[in-house]
Amino acid sequence: MRPETEALVVIDIQNDFCPGGALAVAGGDEIIAGVNALMKDFQVRVLTQDWHPADHSSFAANHPGAAPFSLAQMPYGPQVLWPAHCVQGTDGAAFHPGLATDPADLIIRKGFRSAIDSYSAFFENDRTTPTGLEGYLRSRGVSQLTLVGLATDFCVAYSAVDAARLGFGVTVLEGACRAIDLDGSLAAARQAMSGAGVTLA
């Protein structure tokens, strides 16, 4: 059993990111058994849930004429426009039925403001608006994080880099993650994580 100073953070294992979902990540469901097993090793376990309103500005459908996976300029910087996914209250936004959610101490929702996306579990995509997760972990005395989930190159990587920047020790278990890999995004994400001091295991 890991000490109480260590937390497992499970990123976005939701139906829409698994095969058959609106923004399916190849092999997204393959990691679930391993993640469930890993949860038994940790005393602090956090799940994140991508949780968008239907009018969310990261959805291509909300930008007339824009194609899914194209880039838009937002006030906070460039933003990939995604197929509509993880709409609040829909089956796509629910956790995959195979994921053991009962062991979770905290479920943190993100991306619930229409005007701004939030890949990271710590900050929205302006990299400054906090989700509250940092305070939760610090007040529980957590200093080391292990990250797993979907997708390696977006929500996992942004969470890992932010966590390292906040001073947490961070390990990403790549075998318990799967990537979208849009135009080299996986290689870029791995480089960003390594550069931030994240351990890729």
Binding to ligand VGL by residue 151, rule CB under 6 A? yes
Binding to ligand VGL by residue 108, rule CB under 6 A? no
Known catalytic residue: 155? yes
Known catalytic residue: 12? yes
**Element housing 121 (H / E):** none
| Token pair recorded at residue 49 | 């849930």
- Rounded Cα gap, residues 113 and 99, in angstroms: 26
| Token pair recorded at residue 87 | 């709409």
Question: Quick check: 99 and 36 in contact, CB under 8 A?
Answer: yes
Q: Which of 150, 161, 164, 186 binds ligand VGL (CB under 6 A)?
A: 150
Which does residue 59 bind out of Zn ion, ligand VGL, none, counting CB within 5 to 8 angstroms by kind?
none
> What's the min distance (Å) between Cβ of 166 and ligand VGL?
19
Instruction: Tally Cβ neighbours within 10 Å of residue 193.
Output: 25
- Strands 6-11 and 44-50 come out as parallel
Which does residue 122 bind out of Zn ion, ligand VGL, none, counting CB within 5 to 8 angstroms by kind?
none
| Residue closest to 11 by CA, chosen among 95, 82, 128, 127 | 95
Q: Catalytic residue among 86, 155, 162, 177, which?
A: 155
Q: Phi and psi of 37, rounded to 5°?
A: -65, -40
| Token pair recorded at residue 117 | 């996306």
Binding to ligand VGL by residue 51, rule CB under 6 A? no
- Rounded Cα gap, residues 158 and 27, in angstroms: 20
Q: Catalytic residue among 16, 110, 162, 177, which?
A: 110
Which does residue 137 bind out of ligand VGL, Zn ion, none, counting CB within 5 to 8 angstroms by kind?
none
> What's the min distance (Å) between Cβ of 134 and ligand VGL?
19
Which does residue 151 bind out of Zn ion, ligand VGL, none, counting CB within 5 to 8 angstroms by kind?
ligand VGL
Residues near ligand VGL (CB under 6 A) are: 12, 17, 50, 82, 119, 150-151, 154-155
**Residues identified as active-site:** 12, 110, 155
Residues near Zn ion (CB under 5 A) are: 50
